[in-house]
Each structure stands twice: as structure tokens, then as C-alpha cells.
Amino acid sequence: MTTRSARRHALPLVLAGAAMLMALTACSSSRDTSSDGAGPTAAATSTSTSASPQVSGSITVFAAASLKETFTELGKQFEAAHPGTKVTFNFGGSDTLAASITAGAPADVFAAASPATMKTVTDAGDGQGAPATFVRNQLEIATLPGNPRHIATLKDLTASGLKVALCAKTVPCGSAAQKALTASGISLTPVSYEQDVKSALTKVELKEVDAAVVYRTDVKAAGGKVDGVRFPESAGAVNAYPIVALKDAPHAAAAQAFIALVKSAEGQKVLTGAGFLTP
């Protein structure tokens, strides 16, 4: 065989070897790109993780007294949905809670019973973002079981000898009651002004007063301990409840997750089931 003939027979073998080497190199490059995190799969995973921050830690929620039953239930749901988290509540008059927050009390979330008390916090720059209204609430007269004084209207609260408790005028339930009384031209002097709606309701439950102006949700939560009397003037004094995450919340992601639960279909089911009105 001549030298030229030998080269002609060897050429296909060289070309085949080169093709195999190129295929192996491409395969190795693909594996390297995937493993070092620069490939599309790694990038997508990174984006997905950053879009869903992990919910962890303990959060403190300052909430209006009228939210005690519903928020306690939602707190349990939250902890069940996010194992390892803990929700601690501070319930009270919205004005007192707002003052505590602006004075530096550590908290992650504030849920108020009126926009006015929420404004105290946001005007001080202690809110994170804009507050969102999540429910509304309407007033009702709570009486002793069986309504022995036969209270049927708001004006009946002015009857001689009748003992009535109201929320303090600075508290949302008290402010709403005053608005309804003023609109009706009724002057009422209670035997006591209470610092939150639960305290006013307790006065009736303990039979220390004959009646108190509270929220419908409080009458419902009391069960058979009181009777409720609705009055038309309450329609003009409905309170909106706003909620906001607080600035410098230690666990911001958990705070936002709790607010999301409150506003969700599941949260609204708990709230409206307790007698709250939709936003």
C-alpha cells in the first residue's frame, strides 16, 4: 500500500475520534454549568427562594380588646401553619395601645378599632406601609339576661334609676357611642366610663350595671351572660378596624404573614363568624 493510500484509509478514523472528543467535552461543560449554580435551574431556584421568605420567630400583636376571641383563634391557626412560631397578644383599649407603641413598646403588629387611634401610630412614623381595613364593627346595647329593665331603644338608657356603663370617650367604642347619642340628641351620664369594651361588658355580666353600650361581637361572645338590644342609630357609628405591621418589627416576615392570614378568606371566616362586618 502506498503512503497516500494509507493516509486516505486513516482519515475517517481521525475524524471519528475528533467527533467523539467534542461530544464528551460538551457533555462535561453542561454538567459543570448545572453544578456551579450558573445554569437556569439554579437561578430559578434562587429566585423562588427569595420570593418566599421563611416565616419564623415570635411576634407580638397589639390588638383592640374586641378582637380578643377572634385573634386568639387566628393566633392558634398561624402557629399551626408555621411550626416553631409563636404569637403573643396584648389586648386593650386602642388608644392605650397606640400610646404604648409610640412610647417605644416592642411590638410587630397593631390592629386598632378605629382609624383615629391608628393615625396616632402612623403619624408618629411607627407604621410600616399603609394600614389596611380588615373588618368593621357595630354597636349594640348589652343588658342583663332576660332584659329585666325592658330596654328597647337608645333613649331608654336615660330612664331614671337605670345604671349604664360606657367606654371612655377616647376609646373607639366610646367615641362611637357618643356619636350615636349626639346624632340622636340624647344626653346620657353613665355610672362609669371604662377603658376598653370588655371592661364595659364585664360590668353587665357582674350585674354592677343594668346595661352597657358595646359591640355586637362582644354581646355574641358573651353568650347567655347578657342579652343584646340593637338600635338603628348604631348604623351611623360603625367603626372600621385597620391593621399594620410596625416599623422595626423583629420578625417582619412573620408580621406580614399574620396580617395576610387576618385578611385571607380563612381569617375573614373567623371574624365574620364572630359578628364582625366585612370591610
Residue ranges for the known binding site for molybdate are: 66, 94, 197, 215
Contact 128, 249 (CB under 8 A): yes
What separation in angstroms does the CA of 130 have from each of 118, 122, 124, 228? 10, 8, 13, 35
Q: At what angle do helices 265-273 and 252-263 cross, to 10 degrees?
A: 60
CA distance 112 to 192: 23
For CA atoms 40, 46, 48, 51, the dihedral sign is: negative
Closest C-alpha among 180, 217, 179 to residue 198: 217
Closest C-alpha among 266, 268, 267 to residue 278: 268
- Annotated binding-site ranges: 66, 94, 197, 215
